[in-house]
């Protein structure tokens, strides 16, 4: 039986297109076919630009016929999270207030992916303004997990995760302000990478038009393989004038670095960040995954992290910035916003300068602890999330194995610390829970050691390939 092109990796698709083994038109048609078949169940895509994608595929085919270099993503269809601009397509932020907003230009990341030969096939669903860890909004409804449509694919990049795990596209863009790439990738059993803060430029954000002051948001890919994630970062990384926090282009190719053997590493493994709990079968899957690194002759030590809990600081800082971004743009239409979303922002707006100072002191403490930690260890392994995927329409879990969480934010206890610190972090499938849902293994390294995270993830993938998909 012939393999469907959307069951293949982005790397394989692009290589086949460049080698003229398949036309980019055939590849895009395969993606559109899958979207038509599976999106009614999963609700991953909220806008599909079929005619435009096919037109770009035909244009690419003509360039190939002229022997032009069509780039490392030649003909690869991809989805773009609906918080990010694609010129000529809606950017709604999952909000009824912006239902009619159409972007006039591409974001920096989308510009680079398209220049590398990638073809946008549509926009993927997100909770309103990416606010929560499951994907539901008033405008487009609920996005569902391909492993079990009664469960969530997580958020806020849930549409991108469902599109990739549902094999509608090989890759999709995502963003992570407190776990929003790692949460959905974990819950659908995919790979993701939240690079060092600033590695991939953010924006410009046309409709909001405000320079961010909270430095927690990272752009990163969701893919079905480590190589595809490294390839996207290679294409998208590097300084862009729209983002003063963006870093210079790396001097090495992350995709090439995957082929380099790993030297023996000092690895710390933790099921306890100092707060929170982990579902028993998730912990079992993660422990089992960590054993693979011992078998590779790395030195692995189980530790208790005892990090300061910055959950409240994260929620207030990000909520206050989000309020400032949109308050003038939603004036008079607040009733059209999700009640929980707007209530949360109204609380966060009470943040004072005294609070801000205290939160930044907590961040300094976190940074000091992580600096000391990474002076002793090369890599940190944790569960990506404490639980398996929960109900598609939420809410976030309030308990783990029958024991109440001390704070709602502890449902993502291992995610937000590394947004507050800016460290690179990835998730890869560790195994499955008793319910047959994916559990995730998180890999974290010192800032600017993105290649180490990717190399370690690839080493794990070699012994635990992600071949099973829903």
> 234: how many CB neighbours lie within 10 A of its CB?
21
Pairwise CA distance, residues 470 & 466, whole Å: 11
Catalogue all structural domains in the chain, each as residue range(s) with its CATH number: 5-463 (3.90.1300.10)
Paired residues of 380 in beta bridges: 268, 444
The active-site residue out of 9, 81, 246, 421 is: 81
Token digits of residue 312:
């409240």
How long a stretch of residues is the chain? 470
pLDDT at 1: 58
From first to last of the 470 residues of the chain, give the pLDDT tens digit: 578 999 999 999 999 999 999 999 999 999 999 999 999 999 999 999 999 999 999 999 999 999 999 999 999 999 999 999 999 999 999 999 999 999 999 999 999 999 999 999 999 999 999 999 999 999 999 999 999 999 999 999 999 999 999 999 999 999 999 999 999 999 999 999 999 999 999 999 999 999 999 999 999 999 999 999 999 999 999 999 999 999 999 999 999 999 999 999 999 999 999 998 999 999 999 999 999 999 999 999 999 999 999 999 999 999 999 999 999 999 999 999 999 999 999 999 999 999 999 999 999 999 999 999 999 999 999 999 999 999 999 999 999 999 999 999 999 999 999 999 999 999 999 999 999 999 999 999 999 999 999 999 999 999 999 999 99
Computed from CA positions of residues 235, 236, 240, 242, in that sequence, does the dihedral angle turn out positive or negative? positive
> 249: how many CB neighbours lie within 10 A of its CB?
11
Active-site annotation holds for 253? no
Active-site annotation holds for 2? no
* Cα–Cα separations (whole angstroms), residue 2 to 8, 19, 22, 33, 73: 11, 18, 13, 15, 22
pLDDT at 276: 86
Paired residues of 383 in beta bridges: 441
Q: Which of 200, 271, 193 is nearest to 457 (CA)?
A: 193
pLDDT at 145: 99
pLDDT at 2: 72
Pairwise CA distance, residues 325 & 428, whole Å: 33
The active-site residue out of 180, 225, 246, 421 is: 180
Q: Which of 28, 159, 145 is nearest to 82 (CA)?
A: 159
The active-site residue out of 9, 95, 107, 156 is: 156
Active-site annotation holds for 9? no
pLDDT at 3: 82
């Amino acid at each position: 039986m012939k393999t469907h092109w959307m069951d293949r990796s982005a790397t394989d698709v692009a290589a086949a297109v460049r080698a003229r083994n398949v036309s980019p038109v055939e590849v895009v048609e395969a993606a559109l076919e899958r979207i038509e078949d599976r999106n009614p169940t999963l609700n991953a895509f909220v806008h599909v630009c079929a005619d435009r994608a096919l037109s770009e595929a035909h244009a690419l085919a003509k360039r190939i016929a002229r022997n032009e270099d069509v780039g490392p993503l030649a003909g690869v269809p991809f989805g773009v999270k609906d918080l990010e601009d694609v010129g000529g397509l809606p950017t709604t932020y999952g909000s009824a207030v912006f239902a009619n907003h159409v972007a006039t230009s591409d974001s920096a990341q989308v510009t680079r992916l398209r220049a590398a030969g990638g073809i946008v096939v549509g926009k993927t669903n997100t909770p309103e303004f990416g606010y929560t860890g499951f994907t539901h909004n008033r405008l487009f409804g609920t996005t569902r997990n391909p492993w079990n449509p009664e469960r969530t694919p997580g958020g806020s990049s849930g549409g991108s995760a469902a599109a990739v795990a549902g094999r509608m596209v090989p890759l999709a863009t995502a963003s992570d302000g407190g776990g929003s790439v790692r949460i959905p990738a974990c819950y659908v059993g995919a790979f993701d990478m939240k690079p060092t803060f600033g590695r991939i430029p953010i924006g410009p954000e046309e409709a909001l038009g405000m320079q961010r002051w909270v430095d927690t948001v990272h752009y990163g890919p969701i893919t079905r393989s480590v190589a595809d994630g490294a390839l996207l970062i290679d294409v998208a990384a590097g300084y862009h004038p729209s983002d003063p926090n963006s870093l210079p282009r790396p001097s090495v190719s992350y995709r090439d670095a995957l082929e380099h053997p790993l030297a023996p590493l000092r690895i710390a493994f933790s099921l306890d960040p100092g707060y929170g709990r982990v579902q028993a079968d998730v912990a079992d899957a993660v422990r089992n995954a960590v054993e693979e690194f011992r078998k590779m002759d790395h030195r692995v030590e189980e530790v208790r992290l005892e990090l300061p809990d910055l959950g409240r600081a994260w929620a207030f800082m990000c909520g206050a910035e989000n309020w400032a971004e949109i308050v003038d743009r939603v004036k008079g239409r607040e009733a059209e916003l999700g009640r929980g979303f707007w209530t949360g922002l109204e609380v966060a707006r009470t943040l004072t300068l005294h609070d801000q100072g205290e939160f930044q002191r907590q961040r300094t403490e976190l940074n000091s602890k992580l600096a000391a930690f990474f002076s002793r260890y090369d890599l940190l392994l944790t569960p990506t999330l404490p639980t398996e995927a929960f109900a598609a329409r939420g809410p976030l879990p309030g308990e783990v194995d029958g024991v109440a969480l001390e704070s709602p934010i502890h449902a993502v206890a291992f995610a937000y610390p590394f947004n507050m610190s800016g460290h690179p972090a990835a998730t890869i499938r560790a195994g499955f829970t008793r319910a047959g849902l994916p559990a995730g293994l998180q890999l974290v390294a010192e800032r600017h050691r993105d290649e180490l995270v990717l190399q370690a993830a690839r080493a794990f993938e070699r012994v635990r390939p992600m071949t099973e998909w829903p």
